[in-house]
Structure 1
C-alpha cells in the first residue's frame, strides 16, 4: 500500500496547484512503488500506474481495462453513490466517448472522427490563422503587459472550437464560465459557488447545476440544427445516427459537452503553460526565436510539460497482470499522465523544459483506442498561434507569480502575468 500522506497528495487538488508537491509524490512512487495501491480517505482503493510503459500497456488493452464500468475520474465513495442514485445505477453524470467502451466507443467516435482528421482540418487553417492574428494584434495593443492565460490562451482555442461547433460568439463567455466551473469545481476562484466545497452533496449539486445548464443550452441547439442543419459539428451530433438510430439524449448532450469543454480547455492550458516555461527559461526562448523550425518540438514539449489531463481511471474486466503484479477483476486503476511524462526511463532530464526535445513520446493525449480525438486540431491551433506570435515577440518575462488551478482531473495555469515587447 502507498503511504497515506502520498496517497492523499496525489488526489489533492491543492497539490496540483502547487505543482512541486505532486511532482515529488509521483517521483517517489516511480522510484519506490511504480505500481501500488492507494486508499485515501473516503475513496475506494485504486492502483496507481505511474510508469510510462505501464500506462501504454493498460491503454493498449481496452477490452481488458474498461473506461465505463466504474467512475472514469477519481470520485469519492459518497459522491459515487449519489451519482449512481441519480443516474439509475450508472457511475456517470455524462456519457461521452471518455466513459464508453466498445462497441459504443467505436460507433460514437466514428460519427465525428472525419471532422478531426488532418486532411479535413486543412480547410479550417486560414480561418484559424485569422483568429490567431486577431488575438495577437490585441496583445500588441495591451501596452506590453497582460495576463497571457486570461487574455489570450483561454480565449483563442475557445473561439476556434465554438466556431467549429457552431456556437455564436456572444455565447463564448458563458461556455468558458461553464467549462471552468466543471473542471475547476474544487477551485474557489473558478467553481460555481465561489467557496471551497467540503461535502459530497454540495460538490454534486454544483456539478449537476453546471451540467444542467449545458444540457439546456445544447437541447435548444439540437432542435435548431434538426430543423435547419448547417456545416458545423453541432449539426453532425444533432442529426447523427448510430446503427440507424438517433443518438441517445444523454449521449448527444455529453458529446456537445466534451467538445465544448475539453475541446478548448486542454489547449488553453498547454498554450499558457508553454509560454510560462519560455518566460522562465530565456535561453529556450532565444533558441526558439532563432529557429522557428523548432515550433513543432516546442509544442510537443509544452504538451508534455503541462499534461493538462492529469488522470483517467480504468477497471479490470478480468484478472490481469501488470509489472508482475496481479490485478483482480473489478480493480480500479489510476493512470497518472503527468507521472508518465516525467518518467526518467523515457525522458532524459525530465524536469527541464527543452524546446528541441527529441524524441518526445509523451502520453498527454492518451494512447490506443481512446487517444484524444481533437489532438490534430489542438496541435494545429498551437502551431498557428506560435507561427504568428514568435516573429513579433521581441522580449518576454513574468511580471508576477503565475497561478495553477486547484483540480486533480483537468487543469493548468489560471493566471500567467507577463511583460513583453512586440512589433
Structure 2
C-alpha cells in the first residue's frame, strides 16, 4: 500500500496561521484560509517555533472532528496553539501536564462529563431564561453609560468589556466592588500576545513568555478565588461560586486546583467571547447601514443578527485536538499523537456552508457556525451568551438613532481568542 505524500501548507501561509499579528489584520489571513479551503483543506504546518500540526480549514471536516471526541482528544496536548518553548515550560512547571489549568475544555471522558454535571443545570435554556430581567437591568445601565459618554466613545473599552463581566460577576456571586480587579484579570488572560493588552515587549524573541505570563495570571486568579471558595464552603449562597466550591467528584470534594480552574473558565472565557461578539456585531452594523435600519425597524430580526455577529466575529479562532489513533482524512493519514488545529475562523467563512461568507448578512441562517462546538463538548455557556447579546442589542437599538465609526477600529493580536480591541464611534441616542 502506497502511503500518500504529506501535503504541507505553503510556508508563507503557515507563518500567517502562527502569527498573532495576522489575526489583528485578518485580510491576508482570511484570503489565505480561503485559498486553503479551495486547494488544500487539510495540510501540515511546519514552522520554526511550533511542533508540526495539521491545519483543518473546511467546515465539514472541523465539524466532523469536533464530534469524534474518542478519536480526537482535548486533553492529550495543549488545547490551543502554543510555541514549543511554552509547552516545554508548562510541562516542566506542572510535572508533565500540557495544561496550566484543568477545565472542561482540557478534559476528555470520563472526567469531562463528571465535571460538566457540576454546573450543567445553571446553563440550561430554562435556567438561563430566568436571568433575563437581571441581565436587562445590567444592559440598560451599560447603555446609560454609553449615552452619558456621547456623542463619542471607544465602544470596546467604555462599554462592551464591562457588560458581560457584570453579568458573570452576578451569576458567580462576586462583589461589585471587585469589578476592576476581575476586569484586569480576564482581559489579560487571553491577551499576552498583544502588546497593547498583555505584558512584555512585542518581538521580544522569547516564545516562552506566553507560558510565564499565563502562570503569573493564574497565580493572581488563585489568590482571588481560593478565599472566595473557602467563604462559600463555610457559608454557601445561591450563586455559582457556591455550586463549584461545594461540588463533589467521585464522592470527594473538588480540589482547589480544579475549582479555581472552573472559576477561571466561567469568568474569563464567557466574558471575552461575548464582549467580542457584541463589539464585532456593532462594528458590522456601522459598515452596513441597511442592516442597521432593518434591525431598528424590526426587533424580531435580532436573534438572527446575533448568530451572524457570532459567525462574523468568531472570537475563538481555533481549537486543537490530538489524534488517539491513525485515521484517514482528506486523502491524508493522520497518525496517532498528531496535533490538529481546527480553524473555526476558516470554518465560519466556508463558502460551502455560507453564501457570500465575507459579507455580513441579516438574511442568512448562521446557526450552523462552529464557534460553540458540537457533541459532548458543546459550550456550556452558549445560551447565556446568546441571551446577553440579544438583550444588549434590543436595549441599544431602541435608543440608538445613528452610529458611525469615528477612527480606526483595531482587532487584538491573538492566535487563540480575540476580537475588536478598539472601536471608536460617533453616535446619537435618545
* TM-score bucket (shorter structure): over 0.9
The aligned residue for residue 260 of structure 1 is: 267
Query: Residue 112 of structure 1 is aligned with which of 97, 105, 119?
Result: 119
1:123-202 equivalences under 5 Å are 123-193=130-200, 196-202=203-209
Q: In the aligned structure 1, how far is the partner of 2:365 from the partner of 2:202?
A: 43
Shift of 1:206: 1.7
Q: In the aligned structure 2, how far is the partner of 1:124 from the partner of 1:68?
A: 32
Q: In the aligned structure 2, how far is the partner of 1:197 from the partner of 1:203?
A: 11
Secondary structure of the corresponding residue to residue 130 of structure 2? helix
1:42 and 2:49 are equivalent in the alignment: yes
Q: Which runs of 4+ in 1 moved over 6 A?
A: none
1:291-306 equivalences under 5 Å are 291-306=298-313
Of 62-71 and 117-126, deviating more is 117-126
Query: Residue 19 of structure 1 is aligned with which of 16, 26, 33?
Result: 26
1:77 and 2:69 are equivalent in the alignment: no
Shift of 1:325: 2.3
Secondary structure of the corresponding residue to residue 359 of structure 2? coil
CA deviation vs aligned residue, 1:37-74 (integer Å, no higher than 9, x gap): 10121111111010000011101110000000011110
Instruction: Please tell me whether the aligned partners of residues 165 and 183 of structure 2 are also in contact (alpha carbons under 8 angstroms).
Output: yes
Of 100-109 and 286-295, deviating more is 286-295
Q: In the aligned structure 2, how far is the partner of 1:141 from the partner of 1:12?
A: 38
Q: In the aligned structure 2, how far is the partner of 1:201 from the partner of 1:143?
A: 42
In structure 1, the gaps of 5 or more residues are: none
CA deviation vs aligned residue, 1:184-241 (integer Å, no higher than 9, x gap): 1011111134655431443322221111100111111111111111111111111000
Query: Residue 248 of structure 1 is aligned with which of 249, 255, 272?
Result: 255
Instruction: Please tell me whether the aligned partners of residues 186 and 197 of structure 1 are also in contact (alpha carbons under 8 angstroms).
Output: no
Query: Residue 102 of structure 1 is aligned with which of 102, 109, 120?
Result: 109
The aligned residue for residue 380 of structure 2 is: 373
The aligned residue for residue 62 of structure 1 is: 69
1:213-292 equivalences under 5 Å are 213-292=220-299
Shift of 1:290: 1.7
- Measured on the aligned residues, the alpha-carbon RMSD in Å equals 1.2
Aligned residues: 423
Q: In the aligned structure 2, how far is the partner of 1:175 from the partner of 1:38?
A: 36
Q: In the aligned structure 1, how far is the partner of 2:238 from the partner of 2:186?
A: 24
Secondary structure of the corresponding residue to residue 309 of structure 1? coil
Secondary structure of the corresponding residue to residue 69 of structure 2? coil
* Shift in alpha-carbon separation, 1:194–1:115, aligned structure 2, 3 A: farther
The aligned residue for residue 3 of structure 1 is: 10
TM-score of the superposed pair, with normalisation by structure 2: 0.96
Q: In the aligned structure 2, how far is the partner of 1:256 from the partner of 1:197?
A: 31
The aligned residue for residue 347 of structure 1 is: 354
Q: In the aligned structure 2, how far is the partner of 1:196 from the partner of 1:416?
A: 25
In structure 2, the gaps of 5 or more residues are: 1-7
1:414 and 2:421 are equivalent in the alignment: yes
Query: Residue 59 of structure 2 is aligned with which of 46, 52, 55?
Result: 52
Q: In the aligned structure 2, how far is the partner of 1:31 from the partner of 1:176?
A: 41
Instruction: Please tell me whether the aligned partners of residues 188 and 196 of structure 1 are also in contact (alpha carbons under 8 angstroms).
Output: no
Q: In the aligned structure 2, how far is the partner of 1:359 from the partner of 1:206?
A: 36
Q: In the aligned structure 2, how far is the partner of 1:194 from the partner of 1:142?
A: 32
